[in-house]
């Protein structure tokens, strides 16, 4: 399997980046995880031609070609970072690669609660009509006290958290297999979702 791991922050010093890099190494025998940055992307500005900037178009193409997406988000003021929200707005407004794409949400936080509220908010966002991602239900990985969680080689030092992450990732791989088969059997609905507009909804549907 091939997954795209999105570092959900523009911070240069992020334990969410460290978490995805650990996953990329730890699960190398099961899947290829390409860790992608968002820190150089421009803020969303709703261009009239609905064309994505080059970097976002390239990320969108990678998402389209991948079997699934893993988003690692910190928690800022009970929500996701502005940089991650901006990326999602670009994707929903332009290329819409997340429609019917399996998504796993993980998160690391300096505090004790992990990124639980940010993850819950991200789930709500990804269910919007222009996104409609297939989010793995009933499972979330929250890494609290993340500044102390990795050694100098980038290894997650808590065995019980490694076991928990392994179980979540195994579930996600199974979820990806089932979801992609379901989507393959209903490709027409996916294409219809990509054509959704609020103007169409206001007009009472497609004429």
How many structural domains does the chain have?
1
In a domain, 207, yes or no: no
At 82-137, the pLDDT tens digits run 999 999 999 999 999 999 999 999 999 988 777 899 999 999 999 999 999 999 98
Report how far Cα 139 is from the mean position of its chain's Cα atoms: 14
Tell me which residue of 148, 68, 86, 88 sits closest to 112, measured CA to CA.
148
In a domain, 103, yes or no: yes
Q: What is the pTM of this model?
A: 0.90
Domain harbouring 149, CATH code: 3.40.50.360
In a domain, 147, yes or no: yes
Rg of the chain over Cα atoms, rounded to whole angstroms, equals 17
Paired tokens of 77:
């003021």
Q: Are 76 and 118 in contact (CB under 8 A)?
A: yes
Range of the domain at 97: 2-202
């Amino acid at each position: 399997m091939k997954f795209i791991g999105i570092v959900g922050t523009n911070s240069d010093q992020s334990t969410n980046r460290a978490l995805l890099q650990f996953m990329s190494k730890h699960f190398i025998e099961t899947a290829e995880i390409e860790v992608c940055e968002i820190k150089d992307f421009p803020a969303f500005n709703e261009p009239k031609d609905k064309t994505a900037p080059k970097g976002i178009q390239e990320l969108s193409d990678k998402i389209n070609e991948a079997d699934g997406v893993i988003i690692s988000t910190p928690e800022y003021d009970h929500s996701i970072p502005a940089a991650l929200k901006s990326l999602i707005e670009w994707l929903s407004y332009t290329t819409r690669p997340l429609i019917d794409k399996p998504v796993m949400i993980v998160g690391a936080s300096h505090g004790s609660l992990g990124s639980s509220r940010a993850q819950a908010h991200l789930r709500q966002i990804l269910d919007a009509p222009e996104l409609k991602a297939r989010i793995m239900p009933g499972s979330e990985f929250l890494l609290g006290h993340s500044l102390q969680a990795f050694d100098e080689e980038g290894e997650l030092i808590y065995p019980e958290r490694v076991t928990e992450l392994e179980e979540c990732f195994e579930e996600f791989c199974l979820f990806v297999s089932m979801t992609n088969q379901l989507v393959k059997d209903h490709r027409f609905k996916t294409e219809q979702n990509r054509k959704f507009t609020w103007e169409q909804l206001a007009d009472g549907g497609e004429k």
